[in-house]
């Protein structure tokens, strides 16, 4: 089960909406390159903790250092790339 980045993008997008209760809240033009934090979607540090849990639950990836998340959670594409590279193969 080796999904490519392009296959992961819609999946992560869906999971993210579910985990962070973002249904119906995505701004116009939101895509995999829109920044998740700050000016983009405007997520906060609690969301980033929820995303850590998402990676663990769905892909078996454990982020040990919260600072690592800053790079991984830039946008959906960076998340997909990180997952493709680091997911636990079962």
Q: Which residues pair with 37 in a beta bridge?
A: 43
Spatial neighbors of 87 by CB under 8 A, at least 6 apart, are 59, 60, 61
Could you tell me the smallest distance in angstroms from the CB atom of residue 41 to other proteins?
A: 9
Could you tell me the smallest distance in angstroms from the CB atom of residue 13 to other proteins?
A: 16
Residues in contact with other proteins by the rule CB under 8 A: 20-22, 25, 42, 44-46, 49-50, 52-53, 56-57, 66
Residue 64 or 89: which CB sits closer to other proteins? Answer: 64
Could you tell me the smallest distance in angstroms from the CB atom of residue 56 to other proteins?
A: 5
In Å, what is the CA distance from 83 to each residue of 26, 37, 61, 76?
A: 22, 19, 8, 10
Residue 4 or 24: which CB sits closer to other proteins? Answer: 24
3 state DSSP class of 38: coil
């Amino acid at each position: 089960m080796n999904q490519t980045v392009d296959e992961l993008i819609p999946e992560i997008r869906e999971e993210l909406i579910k985990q962070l209760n973002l249904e119906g809240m995505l701004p116009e033009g939101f895509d995999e390159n829109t920044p998740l934090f700050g000016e983009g979607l405007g997520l906060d540090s609690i969301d980033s903790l929820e995303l850590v849990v998402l990676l663990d639950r769905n892909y078996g990836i454990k982020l040990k250092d919260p600072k690592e998340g800053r790079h991984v959670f830039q946008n959906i594409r960076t998340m997909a790339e990180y997952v493709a590279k680091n997911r636990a193969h079962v």
